[in-house]
Amino acid sequence: MITIQLDNQDYKMPDNWSEVNLERLMKLNDIQKKKWSNDIDMTAHILNTLCDIPVDSILDLSLSDFTQVAELLTWMDKLPTEKVESIKIDDIEYIPVNLQNLTAGEYISLEVFQKEDVDANLHFITSILIRPKVGDRIEKLGDMIDIGNRAQLFKEKLMVGDLWPIVDGFFNGAALSSLTNTQDSSDQAKNQSRLKIVSS
pLDDT in tens, 102-156: 888 888 888 888 888 888 889 999 999 999 999 888 898 888 899 999 999 999 9
Following DSSP, what letter does each residue of 114-160 receive, concatenated? HHHHTTTTHHHHHHHHEEEEETTEEPPP--HHHHHHHHHHHHHH-BH
Q: Does one domain contain both 29 and 54? A: yes
Q: Does one domain contain both 157 and 110? A: yes
Please answer whether residues 159 and 20 qualify as being in contact, where contact means their C-beta atoms are separated by less than 8 angstroms.
yes
* Total structural domains within the chain: 2
Gyration radius of the chain over CA positions: 19
Q: Is the dihedral of CA 125, 126, 130, 132 positive or negative?
A: negative
Q: Does one domain contain both 189 and 156? A: no
Following DSSP, what letter does each residue of 64-98 receive, concatenated? HHHHHHHGGGGGGGS------S-EEETTEEEEE--
Q: Does one domain contain both 9 and 73? A: yes
**What's the whole-model pTM score?**
0.79
Who has greater pLDDT, 191 or 97? 97
DSSP H or E stretch at residue 198: strand 195-199
Parent domain of 108: 87-167
- % of residues, the chain, pLDDT over 70: 84
Q: Does one domain contain both 28 and 45? A: yes
Please answer whether residues 174 and 29 qualify as being in contact, where contact means their C-beta atoms are separated by less than 8 angstroms.
yes
Q: Does one domain contain both 62 and 39? A: yes
